[in-house]
Chains A and B, each alone.
Chain A
Amino acid sequence: MLTELALYSDRLFMAAVGVFVFAMVLHGSEYAVQRSAKAVLVGAGGPALDEHESHPDGTPVRSRSERLGRMGVALVVLGAVLLAASIVTRGLAAQRWPLGNMYEFTSAISLAAVVAWLVVLRRSPASRPVGLFVLLPVVILLFLGGTVLYAPAAPVMPALQSYWLVVHVTAVTIASGLLMVPGVASLLYLLRRSGRLSGVADRLPSVDVLDRLAYRLTIIAFPLYTFAIIAGAIWAEAAWGRFWGWDPKETVAFVAWVIYAAYLHARATAGWRSGPAAWVNVAGFAAVIFNLFFINMVVSGLHSYAGLG
């Protein structure tokens, strides 16, 4: 019965990955269609494509790209539901909170990122072209999770049997997932500002929209990340005998936290507000990802129970 559930969980996971890949294809063709549309319109002296968001009822070509985009979003919703179901059945199969190894972390981080992205999209439909670039790291993460990092459903070792696992690891995963979207938005912001790759960049939302997107999600995720670190310290006090010991994982969490603090400062410092701040945000997310992969897999420390043996 339980092994059967574990099997369902794995299948749901694979289905979710497949759906996300398909959503990426749709989002990608949305770009392609728009690109050919632009060529036609510019040739015909038509209006600039920037207005396309405010005129969904424009030319047939536009609405085709619109339709592709909407289908892509619908698939992202479906993928999120499948992934959530995979995580839930995994927890039921292992009879514990489904955040006990790196396969499960990457799965949950991806879900958090996708859900955050869908919420952003609801509030600001103009951001839709960002979707492709949010899905890209999600799919990579899930691919790694399903292959290299995969671990069968099993109980966790005694050090992880604590309700602080639920609190700390859940908060960290959600915060990391939330931070992924600003990381992507800041990268796109930098891309758009640099004027390079204009074929892609021109179809992205304006720099202002990207900037705001990054900032707004960061100020939600940052306190959550802070909370996660504090919860981790409380747990460390109960499990390892000290609340903070500069274990590699703790150290990089500190580094990431300080970088995000620097991001918020940069936003309030003249001369740093735009480009430099975006770089800082990207660096922050790089630190979070570095912590997830490098520290779990290469450096050995107290946190080395990622289920990789």
Chain B
Amino acid sequence: MKHKHILLIFGFISCLFILTGCWGKKELDELALVSAIAIDESELGYLVSVQVMVPREIASDFSDELTTVKLFSDEGESLFQTIRKLTRDLPRKSYFTHLMAIIISENIAKDNMVEILDFFLRDPEVRPDVPIFIAKDTLAQDILNVLTHIEPIPASKIKKVGLNFQTNYYGVRDTTFLNLVTSIASAGVNPAIMGLTVYGNKNEGEKNVNIQEIEAKAAIKITDFAIFKNEKLIGWLNEDESRGYSYLIGEIKNTIITIPCDKNKTQNLEITSFKNKTKLKMENGKPIINITHQINSNIAQLGCSIDKNNYQKLEKLLEKEIIKDSQHTLNVIQKKFKSDVVGFGELIHRKKPVVWKKLNQNWDDYFVNLTVNLSAEIKINRPGVVDGDVIKKILK
């Protein structure tokens, strides 16, 4: 009898395995792995383009006859509806867990980005660390229409270019869409994100020709930084201003700074560490912010000769150059955009919550006239592999 019971229970349990139907199971060949999504404006509402990876082409030894990715796009009233509408064309379910880039067109960013961000926040498939970019001077769709080499998946190139730019040149604070949402949501800071654009012949970019020759016909490149006021894009910082913005927020890991020294000649310094020491002072009940750039650098390339034993002159030059850029950007964001993208408000909020309570209501107006003092502590550590004034010796 006892054995019968055990057998019965065992039988029921085995039924569990067969009858569940494996809820949530999805075989790999039933999925369309989306590498990037681009969102543009259209008459209906949205023009959504998804770049789907073709695993067989990527995994194979680069036959170069078929493209590594395919673009599917459709128009619809809302973002999610349009994604589902793509099934008219897509044979597999679009799967967003491996999304590597979100690209939003300038127009959408100016209008209603909140709706889009809401979708990405809610969807369990999208990771919060997906890099987000704004397409400048081009449709977002066009950016996904460019084939790339080295990184066979264009979206992967976009992601890695963003990272490379950030670590070896200069960068923004809001790189991922979660950062962007946080910046939008918190008072006292406004977001700024990187812009992307396509250089070259856009029509050639989507053909394999683009990657078969040494020189690409079209290429995706990082461009200026987009400045937001709350959730809306209000303008762009140009290259120098973008760099100055990076100085202000201290988002520099390693970069090169060029200082003009003579006619068409420059001194170049490699920045090995860049830290901002930010202090908040109250004077007459008004907050004053002091930012000190603490910089370590090495000499990378000299255009003019220097005093071998005394780098102070060079240090002064560098200090002047950096403060000039920072100051210029500060002026632009205070006077032109009137948007606190650096996050001074947040600083006050954190350090002097009582003061912030008063300023909170009309921070945007107050920010325009906020006093910010800039200074820099520069240290030049090494002259590079060669010591001394090589230029002088050569010119002799």
Same complex origin of A and B: no
